[in-house]
Amino acid sequence: MQVTIPGHLFGQLPFYDVADTDDSVVVDLHNRPDLVNIRGALQGGLVATLIDVAAGRLAVKYTNGAGAGTADMTIHFLAPVLEGPARATATLVRAGKRLIVVAVDVVDVSRDRLAARATLSFATMEAREPVQPAATP
């Protein structure tokens, strides 16, 4: 499974697949100068995006192709990601008919330090036809 859809905004971010199994998804976000805050750490919002991407990809596997939308996300930021890459490991907590719960740990790989721990809930969606972009005049 691709990390990003061709042409999507996420394609401009350095996301990389590390592992993708039935019960976990691991995605890296490489650090670079234009992604850090004034203290030199990876922006917290980008860490949150990394968490949501990894967890969402795992959740979708349990929806029988219907899809999932983030319903709730709690993140505990524990340490800055100074060197990177930031590695998010998403694991399944529970998969029900209407709600899927995923846990994610983010590690600053070069420092081998836990940077964040998160829990996300996803609402399962009903399958529908993809939306086609409107034609431009």
pLDDT per residue as tens digits for the range 72-124 = 999 999 999 999 899 999 999 999 989 999 999 999 999 999 999 999 999 99
Q: In CATH, what number is assigned to the domain containing residue 50?
A: 3.10.129.10
Question: Does some domain include residue 31?
Answer: yes
Q: How many CA atoms lie within 13 A of 71 on its CB side?
A: 13
Residue 40 dihedral angles phi and psi, to the nearest 5°: 90, 5
Whether residue 31 contacts residue 81, with contact meaning beta carbons closer than 8 Å, is answered with yes
Residue span of the structural domain in which 67 resides? 12-124
Q: How far apart are CA 97 and CA 85, in angstroms?
A: 34
The Cα-based distances of 39 to 30, 43, 81, 83, 117 in angstroms read 17, 10, 11, 12, 21
pTM: 0.86
**What local confidence, expressed as pLDDT, does residue 101 receive?**
97
**What local confidence, expressed as pLDDT, does residue 19 receive?**
87
Helix (H) / strand (E) element for 60: namely: helix 44-60
Question: Does some domain include residue 136?
Answer: no
Question: Does some domain include residue 44?
Answer: yes
**What local confidence, expressed as pLDDT, does residue 73 receive?**
98
Question: Does some domain include residue 69?
Answer: yes
